[in-house]
Amino acid sequence: MESFSNRFDPSSLPDQKPISSTGKRKRDVGKTFFENSGEISSDHLKENGDPVQGKHKAVLQRFKHAKFFLSSSKQEKEIVPLNVNSLEPLPQPLPRASQQLLQIKSNQNTLDWLPKQINYNKNKIKNFKEYTDDNLLDPRILNNLVENNFEKAFSVQTAVLDTLLLDIKKKKLLPDSGNDLLINSPTGSGKTISYLIPIIQYLSTRIIPKLSCIILVPTKPLITQVFDTLIKVSQGINLTITPLNKNSLFADEAVKLRKNVSDIIVSTPGRLVDHLQLKNISLKNLKYLIIDEADRLFNQSFQNWVTVLFNEIEQTNMKINLKTKIQFRVDKIICSSTLFGSLPSLTSIPLFKPKIIVIDNEFDTSSNHESTLTTAGNFSKAVFSLPSNLKEFQFFQNSSNSLFKPLILLKFLIINNFKSHTLIFTKSNDSSSRLARLLQLLAVNYSFDLNIQCINSTLSQFKKQKILDRFSAGEINILVSTDLMARGIDILTIKRVINYDLPMSSREYVHRVGRTSRAGNTGEAITFIFGNGERKWFNRMMKDIIRKPTSKIEIITMDQNTSTLVEADQSTPYDSIVDSNDRQLYKSALEHLQREVAGK
Ligand SMILES: Nc1ncnc2c1ncn2[C@@H]1O[C@H](COP(=O)(O)OP(=O)(O)OP(=O)(O)O)[C@@H](O)[C@H]1O
């Protein structure tokens, strides 16, 4: 351990003493131990007429005495307590905070530093063709869009294309031009195409493949989804697009990445960071970084991906800038339907002159307002909005007893004739598999002929994809899932979402229910609420979501053979749902499950 005397730097002391009005250095108000002990008089502090020198000597002397005293006092029985105040560092002047530091600090509390958003009138949407007419969009891209039935750009697409296509034209001549772009638009509003079209347009005239764009998404099924859309929209442009989601070995993937340079990589942050650290990927030609479902990704700290990736980008750019004297930058496009509201996430990355596009209630064309948010300060408040064609319901049970919850769910499905295109969210992998199996067993007992399956992160990527394809095609009627499915998954045929377990936050609620009612379609979201505790939590979450004054979350009951609306504080009595016959059937299903779990 470092000795006391080594740590002690007497030279730092004298200047720290405040100077009195008479020009003399003030002494400590209380007398020190040494002064009290009478071993050193306070007069020793001034020596040879030079107060600083005198002070040094005095301090050293005091220190020597202290050491001597401590060592000798060890031999004595009685240890005199040392007045530590006399050795405490004297107050230091605070370092002058730089403007930049202050700014970073304030960023962490509010988003006031963001510029004003680009408000966008929902009714002002364009045909994609208008962009080719203005020479901003390659006709091959337009053809691909039209062939896939994308003729009219949705609001978010109009807003993003109006902003980015012009920038891209400029960027060809001035590589250092461009801004970062933040996009907040409801689930199912078409954000994917909004960022893919500009990227493909940028690459449409490229000569040889160079890694120009990285797209980051949170899950492997999303990699496949974004990759598929990229292929559709870039037909005929001959781009090399590499999704890093294959079940192939990491080493094989590394060899491929080193051999064949990709134009675009679609990956999760973890896989990308692994390759970056092994130098399988070079960022020296990177122009665009897209972070989709950004709030979710920024909240994932695995492998410290934000730091690793942004350091790598910065170092690569610094080297190029030194060589070429041109300020190359990577433009970031950051999007989500719940981008704002979680402040630290956006402050964790460097943003260059960010522009912001906020679209709310995309398909609500009844109102002509531009946006409910008008100042950047509002970004820090609740800003989540839902697709306007979504109808929300809650199924409330007074009792928090969840013993019969799976049975009640099955009866709910039967009574409401929810026989297909239904996605059910549970809180964990275990709950999802258990619930799916119980529903399967119960459905047989009730002669409810349904294909009920489960999807969660324990399944291989291949199996997950297969299940998603079958669910999308309607071969699987009811899919029980975890929050794995909550983000980004785009299956237009989903008619309803059931929150069997409550989501953990309003943000996750928005994403879960956003799996239905996509691209202007209608959809239903039903949340099961058991007991007053859950009800309170649900009501609290709902405060974060902006709704039209006319829309409310209706309460439904199972008292009759159809779902019927009742008063807000009513719940369906247990006994009217579960009779003795139900209990018997449920018991036998539970016993069956128990035997399966025990491997009998
Ligand atoms: N211009 C368009 N015309 C018709 N359909 C479109 C258009 N743009 C997108 N779509 C369709 O809308 C659906 C939703 O698009 P997308 O998945 O990009 O939404 P999103 O805003 O990213 O949603 P989330 O936030 O849930 O990820 C997709 O099925 C897509 O094919």
Domain map of the chain by residue range? 100-383, 390-598
Contacts of 523 (CB under 8 A, 6+ apart): 387, 389, 390, 391, 494, 495, 496, 497, 513, 516, 517
Ligand 1 atom with the shortest distance to the CA of 225: 17
Q: Which one of 193, 292, 515 would you pick to mutate in the ligand 1 pocket, going by the greatest count of ligand atoms within 8 A of its CB?
A: 193
Stretch 310-329: mean pLDDT: 82
Q: What is the pTM of this model?
A: 0.77
Stretch 95-100: mean pLDDT: 38
CA 229 to ligand 1 center in whole angstroms: 10
Q: Is the CB of 153 under 6 A from ligand 1?
A: yes
Q: Report whether 439 contacts 384 (CB < 8 A).
A: no
Domains 100-383 and 390-598 equal at CATH topology level = yes
CA 194 to ligand 1 center in whole angstroms: 9
- Phi and psi (nearest 5°) for 13? -80, -50
Beta-bridge partner residues of 394: 527, 555
Stretch 584-598: mean pLDDT: 92
> Is the predicted pLDDT of residue 108 greater than 50, yes or no?
no
> Is the predicted pLDDT of residue 98 greater than 70, yes or no?
no
Q: Report whether 162 contacts 198 (CB < 8 A).
A: no
pLDDT at 433: 96
Stretch 549-571: mean pLDDT: 61
Q: Is the CB of 218 under 6 A from ligand 1?
A: no
Instruction: Report the number of secondary-structure helices (H) and strands (E) in the chain.
Output: 21, 17
Q: Is the CB of 190 under 6 A from ligand 1?
A: yes
CA 431 to ligand 1 center in whole angstroms: 30
Could you report the per-residue pLDDT of 457-515, keeping only the tens digit for each?
A: 999 988 999 999 999 999 999 999 999 899 989 999 999 999 999 999 999 999 999 99
Classify domain 100-383 at the CATH superfamily level. P-loop containing nucleotide triphosphate hydrolases (3.40.50.300)
pLDDT at 94: 43
72/324: higher pLDDT: 324
> Is the predicted pLDDT of residue 409 greater than 70, yes or no?
yes
Among 45-49, 82-86, 267-271, 496-500, which range has the highest average pLDDT?
496-500
Closest by CA position to 458, among listed 436, 476, 438: 436
CA 238 to ligand 1 center in whole angstroms: 24
> Is the predicted pLDDT of residue 573 greater than 70, yes or no?
no
Mean pLDDT, rounded, of the chain: 78
Half-sphere exposure at residue 599, Cβ-oriented, CA atoms within 13 angstroms: 0
The CA angle 550-556-560, to the nearest 5 degrees, is 135
CA distance 575 to 582: 10
Closest by CA position to 339, among listed 331, 351, 330: 351
CA 128 to ligand 1 center in whole angstroms: 15
> Is the predicted pLDDT of residue 109 greater than 60, yes or no?
no
Grade residue 77 by pLDDT with cuts at 50, 70 and 90: very low
Three-state DSSP class for residue 118? strand
Q: Is 309 exposed, middle or buried (0-12, 13-18, 19+ CB in 10 A)?
A: buried
> What's the topology of domain 390-598?
Rossmann fold (3.40.50)
CA distance 476 to 453: 7
CA distance 385 to 99: 35
> Is the predicted pLDDT of residue 423 greater than 70, yes or no?
yes
Q: Report whether 137 contacts 194 (CB < 8 A).
A: no
Q: Is the CB of 514 under 6 A from ligand 1?
A: yes
Q: Report whether 388 contacts 185 (CB < 8 A).
A: no
Could you report the per-residue pLDDT of 333-364, keeping only the tens digit for each?
A: 999 999 876 555 677 788 888 888 888 765 44
CA distance 146 to 572: 49
- Phi and psi (nearest 5°) for 315? -65, -40
